[in-house]
Amino acid sequence: MKRIVFWGDSITDCGRNRNDLYNLGEGYANLIRADLGYRCPGAYEFMNHGIGGNRIVDLYARIKAGFLNWTPDYASILIGVNDTWHEIAYKNGIATAKFEKLYEMMLDEILEALPDIKLMLIAPFVLEGYNTCNTEEIPDRLERFRVDVAEKAAVTKKMAEKYNLPLIELQPAFDAALERAPAEYWAYDGVHPTVCGHEIIKRLWLETFEKMK
């Protein structure tokens, strides 16, 4: 049985029960388990190690307990939006240069410890919503989100190219989805996907996974 680990922030976490090692929450990780579990019974073990609010620095701080110790055969990493959001909301975000440095350190450690891992990177996205739209207090909030999340996505792409890893770019996929339904249909607050938004991630994840097998 091959082990799949989903790693990231609240988009990955998605309300999982952290007291149950095999509870995947209600997001894309669970949708992927349903799909692969149906098509390939007993072939894969699934673990969700996403934690809401995590930034790149938080992932790196728990790299051993949250990732390496589980020795996944396959894994995906989705991180970046909180590095932006926490700066705008709390002045506790992660600048892009530091984000890149930590991402590189994290990947170096993962690939050194698990040289046979099949790993995909997922770049962050943002839409307009009640947590990202402009306000009287922050009249340029949406633009700040868009610019900084795009920087984090560019770093993720750079890391994928440097380490020759598969990349999922969510921003183009969610932007394309806006032609079919408004932003809140896909991400209710501009950051956290609805079940339909998670379906977008699931489909892209599975397409990438099939190429990695």
Report all structural domains of the chain as residue ranges with CATH numbers, in order of start: 2-212 (3.40.50.1110)
What distance, in Å, lies between the first and last C-alpha atoms of the chain? 14
Q: What is the pLDDT of residues 162-187, one digit of tens each?
A: 999 999 999 999 999 999 999 999 99
Contact 186, 139 (CB under 8 A): no
Q: What is the pLDDT of residues 35-89, one digit of tens each?
A: 999 999 999 999 999 999 999 999 999 999 999 999 999 999 999 999 999 999 9
Strand order in the sheet with 167-169: 44-48, 2-8, 74-78, 118-123, 167-169
